Structure 1
Amino acid sequence: MQDTPNLLLITDVPGYAPQISRLMSMMNYARFTTLRSVEGLTTEQLDYTIDAKSNSIGSLLLHFAAVEVAYQLETFEHRDLNEEEMKIWGAALELGDQGRDQIKGNNLDYYLNILSEVRGKTYDVFKTKTDDWLYEEYPFWQNQPANHYFMWYHVLEDEINHRGQIRWMRKRLPV
């Protein structure tokens, strides 16, 4: 996560364009609260599912990274994940049965390191982008016009949504 001494300010981040800075400020706060919501969890707690249809906390953390990778490729390279990338990220993107089967047995540091590595790449590329880039439009979901700003907002929105699930699940973990 970017060093953020003013975590509660939506403001400029040195070295980044103004609107990109504001987006990063929001992303930083969302990630900070996500990390707080999983502090101290054991591997067993990260793997726990409420029922046969739910996702584990660990799979949701990996989902955050997978979504971010997918949007890196979409917005930085204008492409989808290739076959090799889907082998790495597919279960985390899709979740469900595939995620329940494949995403387990990892400790918290495993997930935190992946989240940090993926976010670091995002911020490295953001440093090379202008605010005009955020507003570039092209057809997206169901051929609707979208811009990079919306796409990165969706990355943020997805994390916040699933973080709510994590908080709900944490309260229901067996003691």
Structure 2
Amino acid sequence: MLNMDNIYLITDVPGYTPQIGRLLSMMNYARHTTLAAAKDLSVDQLDFLMDSESNSIGALLLHFAGVEYAYQVETFEKRELNDEEMAIWGAALNLGAEGRDKIKGNDLAYYVEKLNEVRNRTYELFKTVDDDWLYQQEAFWYQKQANHYFMWFHVFEDEINHRGQIRLIRKRYKG
């Protein structure tokens, strides 16, 4: 679904309502730049820690997939992750010590596959809703009101934020 001919266009996407298409355009651009920031990294680079408190690039990449999956569950299934899902995604969502301990030793293809799996599910789920769905409100973060548009904006806003960390970590790697 990542159409490189249109990567710099926020526009309609065939098969989706207009606002959902534009949201997907933004999400796809964010992912494109994330993949560019991680391009050709070795396992050592993906596992590198700048210090005892930092996250690795691999953990951040898996975090992006985990956040997107969690928002799929929250916004489409109206529930929190169950124990089985937390066993899969918990370290990626929590990062920190848990992420440093559990997320390592994977090559770039592993992380890209996880990102693509989750994104492909997002594409399928977004086909089931329309623009009105984006504006539906519900309690969110500490019981404040938010709409699905904001929630899905946060998915790629979080990725953009952490992508800056990826670029910094990559520059600091002393392999």
Structure 1: segments with no counterpart, 5+ residues: none
Q: Distance in 1 between matches of 2:31 and 2:138?
A: 28
Query: Can you list the C-alpha shifts for 1:121-163, whole angstroms capped at 9, x where unaligned?
Result: 0011101110000000011111111110000000010000000
Query: Can you list the C-alpha shifts for 1:15-49, whole angstroms capped at 9, x where unaligned?
Result: 10000000000000000000000010000100000
Residue 73 (structure 1) aligned with residue 62 (structure 2): no
SS at match of 2:6: coil
CA contact under 8 A between 1:49 and 1:55: conserved in structure 2? Answer: yes
Q: Distance in 2 between matches of 1:4 and 1:118?
A: 19
Structure 2: segments with no counterpart, 5+ residues: none
Residue 163 of structure 1 is matched in structure 2 by: 163
Residue 13 of structure 2 is matched in structure 1 by: 13
SS at match of 1:171: helix
Residue 153 of structure 2 is matched in structure 1 by: 153
SS at match of 2:164: helix
Q: Distance in 1 between matches of 2:5 and 2:116?
A: 18
Residue 102 of structure 1 is matched in structure 2 by: 102
CA contact under 8 A between 1:9 and 1:25: conserved in structure 2? Answer: yes
**Any residues of structure 2 matched to 1:62-141 within 5 Å, and which?**
62-141=62-141
TM (norm. structure 1) is: 0.98
Q: CA deviation at 1:5?
A: 2.1
Residue 47 of structure 2 is matched in structure 1 by: 47
Counterpart of 1:19, as a letter, is Q
CA contact under 8 A between 1:4 and 1:28: conserved in structure 2? Answer: no
Query: Can you list the C-alpha shifts for 1:64-106, whole angstroms capped at 9, x where unaligned?
Result: 0000010000000111100110000000000000000000000
The RMSD of aligned alpha carbons is 0.8
Q: Distance in 1 between matches of 2:73 and 2:4?
A: 26
SS at match of 1:15: coil
Matched residue count:
175
Counterpart of 1:95, as a letter, is L
Q: Distance in 1 between matches of 2:8 and 2:165?
A: 23
CA contact under 8 A between 1:137 and 1:145: conserved in structure 2? Answer: yes
Residue 24 of structure 2 is matched in structure 1 by: 24
Q: Distance in 1 between matches of 2:156 and 2:63?
A: 12
Q: CA deviation at 1:13?
A: 0.3
Counterpart of 1:9, as a letter, is L
Counterpart of 2:127, as a letter, is K
